[in-house]
Amino acid sequence: METKLFDFSRFDIKLETVVLGRDFVYLDETDSTNTYLLSEEGDDKPNGTVCFAEKQNKGRGRLERTWSSLKSNNLTFSILINDSDFIAKYLNFINLGTSLAIAQALETLFQFTPELKWPNDVLVNGKKISGILLESSSRGNSFNKLVVGIGVNVNQPVFHGEYNLTPTSVRLELGTLIDRERLLAEILNNLEEVYSTFKDGTDYVLNQWRNRCKMIGEKVTVRDGDKELYGIFTEIDDNGYILLQTERDEFQTINFGDVSVHL
């Protein structure tokens, strides 16, 4: 299949941000863009630096999973956030806001109706199109570096192997090859806008999230390692956590693990 390397100037012309992506590290191959920015390489980079790789050899997902992505087919990149006040205040909303911004970009460019799956998966037609992995390094009691790692399946025509959620790509859903450069710019443009709403409160991100989260009101299973909890996913609370009504009719706040609808 015809794969093209990422064309930085096509991306840059569409980028409307002030901070995000203004410093850009392009790598042909690396272990993981998250690892790159968490390492010393990320220490002297400015806030908002994006590290992009055509291929990751050890791409990581949440809950110790791997993230595999065919070379030059998709978007695999990480964003460095080193504003420790921003991290301390909004950590959980950075998580929710990132998946929201990706969903909005997919809506605008491709007229999809993406669904958000707590805490940060983006699904299209019930299949996973994007995942996010937040990782941090801390100094003393405060986070000094947060890395927001994003994988979006764009042009990959086929997915082999076993997945916890069936994967898809934009191309698979639309049947055409997609401009990765335009999509990356649109995601970063949306992301900067979503992050900028936090200072006025977190209602915007929470409400936009709730509108796109189909699990609210459903019976779900929450898994965290060997632990399993069942209940009704009643709400996303003001901290961005799940409010679960358990079988014993108690309400429990969940801020970890994997959630699936159980039939």
How many of the other CB atoms lie within 10 Å of CB of 77?
A: 27
Piece of the chain touching ligand BTN by CB under 6 A; list 29-37, 108-116, 181-189, 223-231: 29-37
Our CB check for ligand BTN shows the closer of 97 and 131 to be 131
Q: Which two tokens stand for residue 115?
A: 């669904």
3-state secondary structure 187-241: HHHHHHHHHHHHHHCCHHHHHHHHHHCCCCCCEEEEEECCEEEEEEEEEECCCCC
Q: Is 61 in the site for ligand BTN (CB under 6 A)?
A: yes
Q: Which of 73, 76, 156, 190 binds ligand BTN (CB under 6 A)?
A: 76
Q: Is 168 in the site for ligand BTN (CB under 6 A)?
A: no
Binding flags for ligand BTN, 175-214, as an x/- string (CB under 6 A) = ----------------------------------------
Name 152's Cβ contacts closer than 8 Å, sequence gap at least 6. 74, 75, 102, 122, 129, 130, 170, 183, 187
Q: Is 33 in the site for ligand BTN (CB under 6 A)?
A: yes
Q: Is 242 in the site for ligand BTN (CB under 6 A)?
A: no
Name 176's Cβ contacts closer than 8 Å, sequence gap at least 6. none
- Sign of the alpha-carbon torsion through 127, 152, 80, 28: positive
Name 22's Cβ contacts closer than 8 Å, sequence gap at least 6. 15, 46, 48
Q: What is the dihedral of CA 45, 133, 128, 28, to 10 degrees?
A: 40
- Exposed e or buried b for every residue in 236-251, given b needs 16+ CB within 10 A? beeebbbbbeeeeeee
E strand map for 1-49: 24-30
Q: Which of 21, 48, 97, 151 binds ligand BTN (CB under 6 A)?
A: 151
Do residues 215 and 207 lie in contact, with contact meaning Cβ atoms separated by under 8 Å? no
Shortest Cβ 66–ligand BTN spacing (Å): 8
Our CB check for ligand BTN shows the closer of 163 and 251 to be 163
Piece of the chain touching ligand BTN by CB under 6 A; list 37-45, 62-70, 172-180, 203-211: 62-70
Q: Is 34 in the site for ligand BTN (CB under 6 A)?
A: yes
Q: Which of 19, 42, 54, 56 binds ligand BTN (CB under 6 A)?
A: 56
Q: Which two tokens stand for residue 263?
A: 């039939």
Shortest Cβ 9–ligand BTN spacing (Å): 22
Binding flags for ligand BTN, 123-142, as an x/- string (CB under 6 A) = --------xxx---------
Shortest Cβ 83–ligand BTN spacing (Å): 20
Q: Is 167 in the site for ligand BTN (CB under 6 A)?
A: no
Residues that bind ligand BTN (CB under 6 A): 32-34, 56, 59-62, 65, 67, 76-78, 121, 131-133, 149-151
